[in-house]
Every structure is written in C-alpha cells, then in structure tokens.
C-alpha cells in the first residue's frame, strides 16, 4: 500500500510499509500482525505509541471523553499486548519472542492539573506493563515488556495541552505553560521526539535483555 492510500495517521509501521490500524479494533490488530509477519518475515518488536489526550479540570470531566481515552490508551495498549504475545510466544505465528514498549507518560508519575483522566489512563498503562511483563516471563513467552514516561514534547498533542492549560485558567498563555514545565524540569528544556525514540530503541534492543516490567522516565527529571 502506498503512503497516498493511507486515510490518516493511524498506521503500524512495518519496515518500509504501513498498515492502517485502529488500535481499539481487535480484528484490525490480528490483520495488522498477519500483514507484518508476511511483510517482514517475523515480528519481534511492538511499540504501543498511539494515544489521545483530552484535557479537562476534574469538575468538567466528560464521561464520553474519558471513555474514549480509556478505549484508546488502555484498550489499545492491552490489545497490542494481546496480539504481540500471541504472535511472538513459542508456537505463535512469529514464535521467536520479542520486546514490547508501551508509551505511558510523566503524567502517570506526577500530578499535573487539567489532565486527571489522561493521567489515570497512563497510570493504567504502567500497571498493564507490569502485569504483562510478569505473565510473559512466568509463562515462558520470551517477550520483555517495558514502558517509558515521556515528559512534555511539542507534538500536536503537547502543543494542544499548552493551549488547553490556558483555556482552563491554569496558565496565562501557552508560552507560560511551556515555561512552567521547563521550570519544573531539572534538565531545563522540553523533550524531543528523538529523546523518546532513542529510549524506545534501547528498551526494544538486546542491550536491555535483562530488563522487563520497568518504567523509564524520559522527562529531563521532571517526574523525580
Ligand atoms: N506529546 C507529549 O507531550 C507526550 C507526553 C507524554 C506521553 N505522550 C504519549 O506519547 C504518545 C505519542 O503522542 P504524540 O505526542 O505523538 O501525540 P500526537 O497526538 O501528536 O500523535 C498521536 C498519534 O496517535 C494516533 N492515534 C490516535 N488514536 C488512534 C487509534 N485509535 N488507533 C491508531 N492510532 C491512533 C494519532 O493518529 C496520532 O498519529 C501517546 O501515547 C501520548 O499519550 C505524549
């Protein structure tokens, strides 16, 4: 499938190819994993990166927004783990073990105002990681499972959060929100996508061969 056929950004990267995937769709996961193995001849790394963030003060939490975040952030990660384990474990369609890296958030480790629902979903991703790592180890799947806690990164989501913080009256402007985060960060800057990617590559690689069930902060010290 060419990039031009993609109807949005929801895709699983498989080498040079892309497979559209809604992470909340169990059947789509099965198809994406099958396509991945057909394309690459194996499947040994999964990064559960898809996520959504809908800001709200606790007094304004919307049940539908909360349910959607749970569905994507928690449900999507859980389904990814399910299909990765089935494929990677001995006797699975790939069968050679592997590594799963879940993308949680510094929000799972600190209390940042305006994102209670999102923070709850990322704390759930943290727990999913631990239990999945335990099962995979105890049941001999040969799959390690870890997560990262990114700090604020100025992607579409990160920029929107700064705007939302202003709308919610937490900061005077998006720039002030960013400055507040930087001020809370010992290394004195926002995160970059490459900071996250390097950590994910490490956890997915054999350099991390004795690491499972861990959560790695990639936040410049914001969450310490
Ligand atoms: N940007 C930050 O400051 C920050 C901080 C901590 C954690 N994170 C986490 O990092 C991950 C990446 O976030 P980002 O900053 O790149 O956000 P982003 O909004 O820029 O990108 C999120 C991506 O997830 C995809 N997505 C959403 N719902 C999906 C679904 N149902 N199926 C498949 N794909 C879906 C979107 O299409 C988009 O490409 C997320 O899990 C996010 O929660 C981000």
Residues near 39 by beta carbon (within 8 Å), at least 6 away in sequence = 14, 15, 17
Residue 141 known to be catalytic: no
Spatial contact of 37 and 43, defined as CB atoms under 8 Å apart: yes
Residue of 75, 104, 155, 189 to mutate, ligand 1, most atoms within 8 A of C-beta: 155
Place of tokens 């991703």: 125
Confidence of residue 18 (pLDDT cuts 50, 70, 90): confident
Burial of 83 (0-12, 13-18, 19+ CB in 10 A): buried
pLDDT digits (tens, 9 = 90+) for 115-158: 999 999 999 999 999 999 999 999 999 999 999 999 999 999 99
Structure token pair of residue 197: 């990617």
Ligand 1 centroid – CA 51 distance (Å): 4
Place of tokens 């914001």: 222
Give the pLDDT confidence score for residue 9 in this predicted structure: 39
Place of tokens 């990114």: 150
Give the pLDDT confidence score for residue 78 in this predicted structure: 98
């Amino acid at each position: 499938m060419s990039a031009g056929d993609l109807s949005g950004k929801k895709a699983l990267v498989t080498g040079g190819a892309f497979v559209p995937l809604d992470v909340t769709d169990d059947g789509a996961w099965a198809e994406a994993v099958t396509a991945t193995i057909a394309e690459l001849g194996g499947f040994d790394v999964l990064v559960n990166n898809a996520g959504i963030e809908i800001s709200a003060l606790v007094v304004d939490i919307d049940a539908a927004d909360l349910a959607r975040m749970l569905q994507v952030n928690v449900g999507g990660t859980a389904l990814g783990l399910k299909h990765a384990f089935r494929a990677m474990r001995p006797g699975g369609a790939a069968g050679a073990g592997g590594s799963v890296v879940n993308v949680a958030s510094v929000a799972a480790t600190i209390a940042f105002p305006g994102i209670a629902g999102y923070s709850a979903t990322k704390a759930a991703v943290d727990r999913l990681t631990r239990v999945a790592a335990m099962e995979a180890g105890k049941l001999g799947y040969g799959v390690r499972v870890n997560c990262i806690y990114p700090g604020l990164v100025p992607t579409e989501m990160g920029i929107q959060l700064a705007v939302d913080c202003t709308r919610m009256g937490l900061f005077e402007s998006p720039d002030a929100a960013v400055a507040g985060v930087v001020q809370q960060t010992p290394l004195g800057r926002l995160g970059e996508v490459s900071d996250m990617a390097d950590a994910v590559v490490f956890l997915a690689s054999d350099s991390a061969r004795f690491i499972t069930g861990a959560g790695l902060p990639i936040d410049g010290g914001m969450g310490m």
